A and B are shown apart, each in its own frame.
Chain A
Amino acid sequence: MSAPGLPARESAPKREARRVAPVTGKRLRTLALVVLATVLLAIWAFPVLWALLTSFKTERDVLAYPPTIFFEPTLRNYADVLFGSASLLPNLLSSTIVAGVSTIVTLLLAIPAAYALARLDLPAKRASGFYVLATQMLPPVGLIIPYYLVLQKVGMLDTYSGLIVIYLTFSLPFAIWLMVSYFEDIPREMEEAALLDRAGRLRALWYVILPQVRGGIAVTTIFVFLNAWNEFLFAVVLGGNRVRPVTVAMFNYISVEQTLWAKLAAGAMLAMAPVILLGLLAQRHIVKGLTVGAVKGGGRR
């Protein structure tokens, strides 16, 4: 990129030097950036990879110093965690049921509500929208006390239905808020065209609008499920022995006497396997969801 207006006469070696310097300078900079990126990758991915590694070690290998990278892998930990006395399987089941059902219920309630908020002539529309937003601001710790007291009185502590209903507290406002932004992105003319095509409002929603927010529904589903699966506070306070999601069960491997390192690692890997898989498979959706949520405001994560 030679600049015009430079003096025409310039010695050849000088010109050569000038041309070489920027190239290596740029290369150095790119190299530095690549190194930095790798460091980042390491910092963020390493703990998970380290846990994965640890889960295949024996307890003794774990405590070895210097830490061994080459060792004899064993599946004992996974076997113990899955089929042993304190099996994680019932917990995985609990998590699946609670997270799955609450996600479905959330979507069934949130999608129509979001459509109504985004599009239809709702009385007190602004107030309703604001109310939905405000409910997202509540700190969970403020809700568990009354929940505990009420559920205890009604005898719904440690039940699936109790927990699922309570999970709606954080899922529903968030899902509504996300879906509203997706509905708002659809041009109004689409619905008007459908109405003129004699579809009627319900069919317009079903045949024309919903197919177009498929992406938004996917993103919302992912985030709602993620939040529900990872929930801890509600699970530990309002669950019990029968309903005990994996997040609570993690503490099985830690006691005052000792920490079962390898087993904990294996347990954690199993507990987090669904969400990690979801994260890897749906990463584009997740990134889109994060930025949409960030741009339109609000959101639990």
Chain B
Amino acid sequence: MTVRKGASDPFALALFLPALVVLIVTTSAPLVYLAWTSLMRIDLSMPWLSGFAGAGNYAQMLGDPRFWHSLGLTLVYTVSTVVLQVALGLSLALLVLRIPKGQGALRVAAILPIVLAPVVVGLFWRTLVLAPDVGLVDVVMRALGLPSYNWLGDPNLALVSVIAIHTWQWTPFAFLVMLASLSSLPPDVFEAARIDRASAWQRFRYITLPLIRPAIVIVVIMRMMIALSAFAAIFAATGGGPGTATEILNLYAYRTSFSELNLGYGAALAMVLLAITLSVSFAMFRVRRAR
């Protein structure tokens, strides 16, 4: 559309530059600083030990069992929430497709978890839902004659609870996207399949699934990013505990930096998380492009 030949367009630059400058200042510059910090030893609780540490933080990380535990938790957390969200969201969307009248009310209900602040969701669940004696779950379980569990206090159950919380909040997102995607599929393809005597399962497997694959991939990518950086809900619900039972990597980095005041090590942990996030997103985008 431009008449100018080849030369850079001052109008376009003028429009883009302010945002670019802000972006660089707020994201890239701090990243450099983070990398630098990860090479330092900054221990605010023992300031006399501060100084350049080189790769010392990273070396320490390799031998740190709490780090590996945290990494494992992150993996479990991320994979299970994403899989659950997609599976549940898709199934629910498929089922709900047949009741066009109910979709309006369901849309409203689906929006509620999404608009809430994750920290509030964590607190809700911690107090009103999962608390012993008073919480919703406990009330229901006791009414059904089932035993009481300490959902957030038991190290074995805490991870499950936290996964449930995240899934509860974000499945509606997957649900809404899948529903929109399914609704936009052309009906004549399915009619042709029915004439060709395809069963419901076959229609799903050979027509529906391939057609909504782009939507599924996008949902997986986006939810994975969010799961890797999920913080507020877990912080509010368990604080990373009991002990380190729900201490996914970014919580570990946070605690190290702001509770234990070991900023250098915390920065190193954050760098590792950043590397994981970037590589996962690159891998996923390549998957998306390949398809």
Interface positions of A (Cβ within 8 A of B) = 29-30, 33-34, 36-37, 40-41, 43-48, 50-51, 54, 62-63, 65-67, 109-110, 112-113, 115-117, 119-123, 128, 131-132, 134-150, 165-166, 168-169, 172-173, 176, 188, 191-192, 195, 201-202, 226, 229-233, 237, 247, 250-251, 254, 259, 261, 264-265, 268, 271-272, 275-276, 278-280, 283, 286-287, 290-291, 293-295, 297-301
Contact = CB atoms under 8 A, between A and B. Distances in A.
A283 B254 contact: no
Of A29, A232, A299, the most chain B CB neighbours within 10 A belong to A232
Contacts of A265: 128
A142 B22 contact: no
A298 B226 CA distance: 11
Q: Which of A34, A139, A254, A299 has the most CB of B within 10 A?
A: A139
A277 B273 CA distance: 35
A141 B229 contact: yes
Interface in B11-52: 11-13, 15-16, 18-20, 22-23, 26-28, 30-31, 33-34, 37
B98 interface: yes
B219 interface: yes
B23 A135 contact: yes
A297 B289 CA distance: 11
A279 B112 contact: yes
Contacts of A37: 95-96, 99, 102, 105-106
B127 A264 contact: yes
Contacts of B110: 44
Contacts of A135: 23, 27-28
A45 B108 CA distance: 9
A170 to B, nearest CB: 9
B79 interface: no
Interface stretch (B57-65, B115-123, B149-157): B115-123
Given A132-B23, A172-B19, 9 more contacts: A36-B96, A139-B270, A141-B273, A232-B231, A247-B232, A272-B115, A272-B117, A286-B111, A298-B222
Contacts of A34: 99, 102
25 contacts: A41-B105, A44-B112, A51-B128, A63-B134, A65-B134, A67-B134, A113-B20, A120-B9, A131-B23, A135-B23, A138-B31, A142-B273, A145-B267, A146-B33, A232-B232, A232-B235, A233-B254, A237-B258, A251-B236, A276-B115, A293-B222, A294-B219, A297-B218, A297-B221, A297-B288
Interface in B197-238: 214-215, 218-219, 221-222, 225-226, 228-229, 231-232, 235-236
Contacts of A264: 123, 127
A123 B277 CA distance: 28
Nearest to A41: B109
Q: Considering the complex of A and B, which 10 residue pairs feature the smallest CB-CB distances, nearest first?
A: A230-B117, A120-B12, A113-B19, A279-B115, A112-B15, A232-B232, A146-B33, A146-B30, A116-B16, A141-B250
A165 B29 CA distance: 14
A280 B111 contact: yes
Contact of A294 (B8, B95, B177, B229): B177
B102 A168 contact: no
B116 A230 contact: yes
Interface residues of B, number: 94
A194 B129 CA distance: 57
B274 interface: yes
Contacts of B161: none
Interface of B: 1-2, 4, 8-9, 11-13, 15-16, 18-20, 22-23, 26-28, 30-31, 33-34, 37, 92, 95-96, 98-99, 102, 105-120, 123-125, 127-129, 131, 133-134, 136, 139, 143, 168, 172-173, 176-177, 180-181, 214-215, 218-219, 221-222, 225-226, 228-229, 231-232, 235-236, 250, 253-254, 257-258, 263, 266-267, 270-271, 273-274, 277-278, 281, 288
Given A37-B99, A112-B19, A172-B22, A271 B120 contact: yes
Contacts of A231: 117
Contacts of A149: 33, 37, 263
A232 B118 contact: yes
A165 B226 contact: no
Contacts of A188: 1
A172 B267 CA distance: 24
Contacts of B274: 138-139, 142
A184 to B, nearest CB: 13
Contacts of B8: 121-123
A167 B168 CA distance: 26
Contacts of B181: 291
